[in-house]
Amino acid sequence: MGTSGAFDEIWGFGGPDSPRPEFQALSRWVANTSTEELHQRQQSAEAAFRQLGITFAVYGENDAAERIIPFDIVPRLFLHQEWTSLSEGLVQRVQAINAFLEDIYGERRILAEGLIPPELIFRNDQFRPEVAGIRPPHGIWAHICGIDLVRTGPDQFFVLEDNARTPSGVSYMLENREAMLRLCPELFREFRVAPVDSYPDRLLETMRSVAPGNNPDPMCVVLTPGHFNSAYYEHSFLADSMGIELVEAADLVVDDDIVWVQTVGGRVRVDVIYRRIDDDFLDPLIFRPDSMLGVPGLIAAYRAGNVALINAPGNGIADDKAIYSYMPEIVRFYTGQDAKLPNVETWRCREPQPLKYVLDHLPELVVKLVDGSGGYGMLVGPTASKQEIADFRAALIAEPHRYIAQPTLALSTVPTLVEQGLAPRHVDFRPFVLTGSDGVRVVPGGLTRVALREGSLVVNSSQGGGTKDSFVLLDDRAPTQSQSQRQGL
């Protein structure tokens, strides 16, 4: 798994001297700006992040563990046409995710059709029987989705993972852009970049659109586990930029199946909660009884239709690893079309034919435990020893239903500032898709994560990953205001 041969999104396949024609301006900018200058600007961006407190806290004995995620100054660019087709694919996928959740907690037509084995749903802890039969206000489940994409060539985008629970990282999309505007204003003269700063407004519109009933002025809040949570900065940032209250569980009470927030003047009714608390901790009466972060009675209020929860509890079944390989079928079933954004090819070892293929090709494949996480129980064929492959073969034969396999992908790279200058580094991409009762919106941008170590494919911030700004170029003919595409449900 190296960098050699990978598609570079700026340089194409030809290297720094022959960039893709559309991006020559970026290459010129890089060539005309000294490495020292780039380093200096990058450091000043990181210093600003630290002062603003855009940190990921790793709480231990002291706050030395409050870290910032490294920021890379060279942006990643999407052409207007690239973005248009990407966002069509994203809209389609998120519509399918919402339809799937509505179905799986309701009629379960897709199971009746035999497209997904029922045990993958019902024996899966991510299916929450506690919320079965509840229809959320306006029938929207996944209001905010983060779809993780990887790219292997000019037109080859793949969905690596769906995030339909509480995807994070959108504050980086916004803060990275702020930093770029401040530090590299000349780039925005060179390229017409679609703005992302409307995201908080779009998010608030989305929240307001799903308020129960027809309240013209619904009370919306962001619910955080508290300031010790590692993503607290993002929670307060979002509440602040939407101009709504950031609340903790202790601020909320449920009475008579209605949620209230406690103010100095008494209780005020709450209609929409963007909760950044996991399902398990939402309501101690329904989920984990030891949860101190939850609000007793919250699910009763939700069941009674008196509050919208963003995202809906139980969404984990839609972004589960075991379900992922069925996403092409899910998209086709609910939208009547083939998926515009393909999955990474996945062999389900529970089925005999794929199992045979996987066993024959172990040295080339990545094999994953369906219910494993954090890289535990994973075989990376190309780098594994003979013994490891033999052990995995035995495990696969014993319990094939617990595994899936995927090819090792040559992830695309983007030029990234390293000590000696620019070098290609692997990236992935998380765009954010909003779904309200008035349609699906994709804000033109997202979070690009970059693996800063040479050859590494691991973009996680905990393992040396960084972030980049992601420019979506505007169509030269379109007016600048077209900040988001909107499409009906």
Partner 1 sequence: MLMLSRTASALYWLGRYVERADFIARLVEATIRLDALSARPAGEAAWQSALAVSYTDQAFAATGGNFTQAEVAHFLTLDASHSGSIVRCLELARNNARAVRTALTRDAWTAVNRAWLLFQNRVSTGSATQTLNLVEQVKGETRGFEGSIHRMMRNEATWLIQLGASVERADNTARLVDVKYHLLLPEGERVGGVVDRDQWTTILQTVSAVNAYRWLYKEGLQPSNVINLLVSRVELPRSLAACAEESVGILSQLAKRTGLQGEADRMARARMARMQKTRTSDIIVTGLHEHLTAFIQENAMLDAAISRQFRFI
Partner 2 sequence: MRIAIDHHSRYRFSKPQDRIVQMLRLTPGDTRDQTVVNWMVSVDCDARLRDATDGFGNAVTMLYADGPLAAIDVHVTGEVLTTDADGVIHEAAEPLPALLYLRTTARTAPGTDLPGFASDSVSGARDPLDTLHRLNCALHARFPCAPDAPDTGTSAAAAFVAGKATSRDVAQMFIAAARSLQIPARYVSGYRSDSVAQSAPHAWAEAHVYGLGWIGFDPAAGLIPDERYVRVAIGLDAAGAAAIAGTRIGYGLEQLDVDLHVEQMPGDA
Interaction site with partner 2 (CB under 8 A)? 118-119, 122-125, 127-134, 253-257, 284-286, 289, 296-297, 300, 303-304
Q: What residue 130 binds from partner 1, partner 2, none (CB within 5 to 8 A, per partner kind)?
A: partner 2
Nearest alpha-carbon partner for 162 in 373, 274, 318, 310: 318
Two tokens at 287?
């989920």
- 181 binding partner (options partner 1, partner 2, none; Cβ < 5 to 8 Å by kind): none
Interface positions with partner 1 (CB under 8 A): 53, 62-63, 219, 226-227, 236, 239-240, 245-248, 250-251, 261-266, 268
Minimum distance from residue 214 beta carbon to partner 2 (Å): 22
| Integer angstrom CA distances of residue 9 from 26, 126, 180, 398 | 12, 36, 19, 42
CA angle, 198 as apex, 192 and 203 as ends, to 5°?
145
Q: Can you point out the beta strands (E) in 224-322?
A: 245-247, 252-255, 258-263, 266-269, 272-275, 308-310
- For partner 2, the closer of residues 295 and 451 by Cβ is 295
Residue 33 or 124: which CB sits closer to partner 2? 124
Name the minimum Å distance from CB 304 to partner 2.
Answer: 7
Nearer to partner 2 by Cβ, of 111 and 389: the residue is 111
What is the smallest separation between the CB atom of 250 and partner 1, expressed in angstroms?
A: 5
* CA atoms of 237 and 107, how far apart (whole Å): 38
Residue 189 neighbours by CB under 8 Å, 6+ apart? none
Distance separating alpha carbons of residues 443 and 476, to the nearest angstrom? 18
CB of 261 to partner 1, least distance (A): 7
Nearer to partner 2 by Cβ, of 297 and 381: the residue is 297
CB of 297 to partner 2, least distance (A): 5
Q: How far is the CB of 369 from partner 2 (least distance, A)?
A: 17
- 254 contacts which partner out of partner 2, partner 1, none, CB within 5 to 8 A by kind? partner 2
Least Å from the CB of residue 141 to partner 2: 15
Quick one: 303 or 393, whose CB is closer to partner 2? 303
C-beta closer to partner 2: residue 48 or 111: 111
| Integer Cα distance of 294 and 224 in angstroms | 10
Measured from the CB of residue 122, what is the shortest distance to partner 2 in angstroms? Answer: 4
The partner residues of 266 in beta bridges, in order of sequence, read: 263
For the chain, the 3-state helix, strand and coil shares in percent, each to the nearest 5, are 35, 25, 40
Min CB(167)–partner 1 separation in Å = 22
Say which residue the tokens 């319990």 belong to: 399
Q: Which of partner 2, partner 1, none interacts with 122 (beta carbon under 5 to 8 A by kind)? A: partner 2
Using CB distances below 5 to 8 A depending on partner kind, what does residue 245 bind out of partner 2, partner 1, none? partner 1
251 binds, among partner 1, partner 2, none (CB under 5 to 8 A by kind): partner 1
> Cα(109)–Cα(329) distance, rounded to whole angstroms?
13
Q: Which of partner 2, partner 1, none does 458 bind, CB closer than 5 to 8 A by kind?
A: none
Q: How far apart are CA 344 and CA 407, in angstroms?
A: 8
Beta carbon nearer to partner 1, 246 or 362: 246
Nearer to partner 2, 25 or 258 (CB): 258
Closest contact distance (angstroms) between CB of 274 and partner 1 is 15
Query: How buried is 59 (Cβ within 10 angstroms: 0-12 exposed, 13-18 middle, 19+ buried)?
Result: exposed
118's contact among partner 1, partner 2, none, with CB below 5 to 8 A by partner kind, is: partner 2
Amino acid at 81: Q
**Cα–Cα distance list, 267 to 47, 76, 302 (Å):** 41, 47, 18
Nearer to partner 1, 133 or 265 (CB): 265
Catalogue the E-assigned strands of 206-360: 220-223, 245-247, 252-255, 258-263, 266-269, 272-275, 308-310, 347-348
Rg (CA), the chain: 23
Chosen from partner 1, partner 2, none, partner binding at 15 (C-beta under 5 to 8 Å by type): none
- For residue 240, the partner it binds in partner 2, partner 1, none, with Cβ less than 5 to 8 A by kind, is partner 1
Of 258 and 458, nearer to partner 2 (C-beta) is 258
Q: How many CB atoms lie within 10 A of CB 372?
A: 13
